[in-house]
Amino acid sequence: MDLELLCNKVINIARLTGNFIRKEALAFDSSAIEYKGLNDLVSYVDKTAERQLVKNLSKILPEAGFITEEDETENSYHKPFTWIIDPLDGTTNFIHGIPTFSISIALYEANEPILGVVYEINRGEMFYAYKGAPAFLNKKEIRVSQATDLSQCLLATGFPYYQFDKQPQYIKLFTEMMQKCHGLRRIGSAAVDLAYVACGRFDAYFEYNLNSYDMAAGAFLVKQAGGTLLNFSGGSEYLETREIVATNGLITQEILDTIKRHF
């Protein structure tokens, strides 16, 4: 398989669907909002974007199955390759007119990621990587930051919007982190957070209660850009445990020690 060629095709597909999402954002009507659960929003834009992605990705790799957020496909499992897709990561931002949302596409072969694309739609920033190559942003190679101490760092996280049982210790964790670093940001798109770690804008990102489609592509970008990926316990099973710590590799232990004091 020519992964570079395949990645270029995925980039074109992401850009095409991104154009649709950008156009819909200009005239989106909040009456089109649906609720999947508490504070878990979706719209026809998410669903239509997913159908577009599934249709076009199926054309370029017919032997692949899909894991998708909105489950707009029946072609899912037991295939040699699997696309893991979030058609609109940052739906709440999109619905409220906040211009940070993205398309996230990862390709796995068995249990190994081999390709990842995150398209930050409003800035027109295409982050991508494939196995055997570094990570890129709009054709320029990117690397994680070189910060060696939390006092030099800008961190990213996400706030829980349901299952609030861990909220008290999470707030205590925020308090300690904020006192140790340049700042703590919550953008609202895990895929973008991870892409920003990959290109060195953020030095680290941590969050729990995520799904595979939230982080699969962005995590692969971090890996190919030289970063480190763990769960809150320091293990490598971040997709399985639904929690992630993505760092530049130089501040990992300091981040983990801080998290472990609260979780």
Closest alpha carbon to 21 in 84, 100, 117: 100
* Calpha distance 214→194 (Å, rounded): 10
SS (H, E, C) 148-195: CCHHHCEEEECCCCCCHHHHHHHHHHHHHHHHHCCEEECCCCHHHHHH
What is the token pair recorded at 131?
Answer: 């196995």
Measured between alpha carbons, how far is 145 from 19 in angstroms, rounded to an integer? 31
Mean pLDDT value across residues 164-169: 83
In the CATH scheme, what architecture does the domain 3-142 have? 2-Layer Sandwich (3.30)
With 80 as the cut, is the pLDDT of residue 213 above it? Answer: yes
Range of weakest confidence among 49-53, 56-60, 170-174? 170-174
Three-class SS state of 22? helix
Name the least confident of 40-49, 198-207, 231-240, 246-255: 40-49
User: Would 3-142 and 150-260 be classified into the same CATH topology?
Assistant: no
Q: Which fold has domain 150-260?
A: D-Maltodextrin-Binding Protein; domain 2 (3.40.190)
Q: Average the pLDDT over 81-90 and give the result.
A: 96
pLDDT bucket at 155, cuts 50 / 70 / 90: very high
Q: Roughly what angle, to the nearest 10 degrees, separates helices 212-224 and 190-198? A: 0
The domain ranges of the chain are: 3-142, 150-260
The dihedral formed by the CA atoms of 112, 163, 150 and 130, expressed in degrees to the nearest 10: 20
Q: What is the largest CA-CA distance in the chain?
A: 50
Report pTM.
0.94
3-state class percentages of the chain: helix first, strand second, coil last, to nearest 5: 40, 25, 35
Q: Please give the Cα distance from 122 to 91 (Å, whole number).
A: 13
230-263 pLDDT tens trace? 999 999 999 999 999 999 999 999 999 999 999 8
- Tell me the pLDDT tens digit for each residue of 6-28: 999 999 999 999 999 999 888 87
Q: Computed from CA positions of residues 145, 151, 152, 155, in that sequence, does the dihedral angle turn out positive or negative?
A: positive
Q: How far is CA 125 from CA 18, 117, 122, 198, in A?
A: 11, 10, 8, 13
How many CA atoms, within 13 angstroms, populate the side-chain half-sphere of residue 21?
34
